Structure 1
Amino acid sequence: MKKSNSILMIIVIVIIASLIVWKIGIPNLSGKNKEISSEKVAKKVKKESKKIKKKETSKAKSSSSTETSSSVESESSSESSSESTSSASSYRSDVKFPALQNYAGKTYYAVDRDSAEYPQMFPTSFTITSDGEAIIISGRQEPIEYVRTGKFGSVQLGGGPVFVFEFKPLGSSDEVEVVNQGQYLTYSTTMPE
């Protein structure tokens, strides 16, 4: 009986001791985890603030350099603008496709569309957007994905799976001839009466 009581007492003492160790150990571990995580957060905040400061200083430097360069450019451009006003008006660098520079931003109207053999093959008008990225035909805007130039100055616009539109200049960029399956129709930037 004494042996079983002493064994039972030892087991109870071991259980109580392990509970005490467990209770004391857990808060210390969680406190250490909190300290470690707060240190990590503080380090991240310091790194981010350093990155932001570097970006701000680089932006400030670049903006001041662009201000000086733009003032230099404006001075040089004002000097050269009087020399080449006619060439500057014909060349546009903001057009997506260089072949469309003379046609971008213009609306072309069909000249005597009813005289065509198949008038339904030709829209009453079309407009190439000022950036040269799309063409508006009968109120529908089609994105221009490629431009090809061919014989006699013809210009072919394409986009999507089936969209193709072709025209060629007639002496100037204000008059063009639209080609559709072997049929031709003249278009002009002046609206017919």
Structure 2
Amino acid sequence: MKKVSSIITIFVIVIIASLIVWKVGTPNLISKNKENTTEKVSKKVEKELKKTKKKKEISKAKSSTTETSSSVESEPSSESSSESASSVSSYQSNVKFPALQNYAGKTYYAVDRDSAEYPQMFSTSFTITSDGETIIMDDVQEPIEYVRTGKFGPVQLGGGPVFVFEFSPLGSSDEVEVVNQGQYLTYSTTMPE
């Protein structure tokens, strides 16, 4: 009976010892498996990166050869188009609003202002600055924030909370007719005598 009980205790001790060894050894095995797995994955990723780099280099080489050939062919046409675009932009780039191109930089003087029904409604002169950003009326400068043009040539300038100024060309840009609350007055670039 003592032999059987001693055998059982030895057997139990062996089982407990093997459980302890298994518990302690399992995390090491798991971490080794993880390391092996990450190494394999990183190697695969490196291989894929190398493949894609090679493909990109090949496609870059192909595209650079086609780009050089196409750029050589299109050089004359691009030069002529850029020249024409620059000449157009230099004509219009110095004026903020293209509708003011013909009027910018000119001073207009009231023609026979005293004959108007309400002369105080009209300034003696006005100037649209050469950049088209401001209008000067009787030495008062107002910023132009918007420009609207009508079907038959009237030009309306506006800015600030209350500033509105409207005129229409009379034959040429050297003579215009200013409209103010239903009243009209002619202005000319030539100063009246």
CA distance in 1, matches of 2:138, 2:187: 14
Question: Which residue does the alignment assign to 1:120?
Answer: 120
Q: Which one-letter code corresponds to 2:129 in the other structure?
A: T
TM-score, with structure 2 as normaliser: 0.54
Q: CA shift at 1:191, angstroms? A: 0.5
1:130 maps to 2:130: yes
Q: Which one-letter code corresponds to 2:154 in the other structure?
A: S
Between structure 1 and structure 2, the one with the greater Rg is 2
- Deviation readout 1:58-115 (Å, 9 max, x if unpaired): xxxxxxxxxxxxxxx8xx96xx8xxx9xx999x4321000100000000000000011
Q: CA shift at 1:152, angstroms? A: 1.5
Which blocks of at least 5 consecutive residues in structure 1 are unaligned?
1-72
Aligned partner of residue 92 in structure 2, secondary structure: coil
1:108 maps to 2:123: no
Which blocks of at least 5 consecutive residues in structure 2 are unaligned?
1-78
Q: CA shift at 1:187, angstroms? A: 0.3
Residues 87-166 of structure 1: pairs in structure 2 closer than 5 A: 91-166=91-166
Aligned partner of residue 105 in structure 1, secondary structure: coil
1:179 maps to 2:179: yes
Task: Check 1:160–1:190 CA distance in 2 against 1; reply closer, same or farther (3 A cut).
Answer: same
CA distance in 1, matches of 2:97, 2:89: 17
Q: Which one-letter code corresponds to 2:174 in the other structure?
A: D
Q: Which one-letter code corresponds to 1:160 in the other structure?
A: G
CA distance in 1, matches of 2:89, 2:168: 23
Task: Check 1:186–1:88 CA distance in 2 against 1; reply closer, same or farther (3 A cut).
Answer: farther
Q: CA shift at 1:145, angstroms? A: 0.3
Aligned partner of residue 151 in structure 1, secondary structure: coil
CA RMSD in angstroms comes to 2.4
Q: Which one-letter code corresponds to 1:190 in the other structure?
A: T
Aligned partner of residue 120 in structure 1, secondary structure: helix
> Alignment length, in residue pairs?
112
Task: Check 1:88–1:96 CA distance in 2 against 1; reply closer, same or farther (3 A cut).
Answer: closer
Q: CA shift at 1:146, angstroms? A: 0.3
